[in-house]
Amino acid sequence: MNFFAVLNHWLHLISVVIWIGGTAFQVFVAAPFLKTGDPSYTFLKNVSKRFRHIVGPLLLVLVVTGGINFGFRRAGYDILPPGYISALGVKVFLVAIIASLYFFDLIRARQEEEPQQKFQPRSEEGPALPGFAYTRLTLIIGLVIIFLASMLRQWKF
């Protein structure tokens, strides 16, 4: 057993748990219960903002540890099955989409924080948290990535 491989895989899994868990909390717990004028709105908006600050480093850790995991998985094999490479390619593409969503959300958040903008009350139909559409899409894509990761892990070659 290679201790570094185990440690790397563990770090990869912990990063996924924190990222998907935080995103799922925002989608299923925080956002649905917020209404206009709710005193907890500001608190949960600040929680969302803080979570946004750890997502970038988590994505970086996931990309680096994912590459290392691939190196360990590939060790000893000259060629990999084409289906494995295709599934891995889809997974990497989806990670790139999530990284793009993260950067779009950062840009949106910076624009919202500009001091010249005045407070505008939000409607009842609007999303509860800023960038909520990005958050939902990130959760859906993240769950697909986890499914692909499970599939890749069980691939025999």
Query: Which stretch, 73-77, 88-92, 106-110, has highest mean pLDDT?
Result: 88-92
For 8, the token pair is 């790397």
Q: pTM above 0.95? A: no
Query: Would the pLDDT of 42 be above 90?
Result: no
Query: Would the pLDDT of 110 be above 70?
Result: yes
Q: What is the domain extent for residue 23?
A: 3-154
In angstroms, rounded to a whole number, what is the distance separating the alpha carbons of residues 154 and 88?
A: 13
In angstroms, rounded to a whole number, what is the distance separating the alpha carbons of residues 31 and 33?
A: 6
In the chain, the number of structural domains is 1
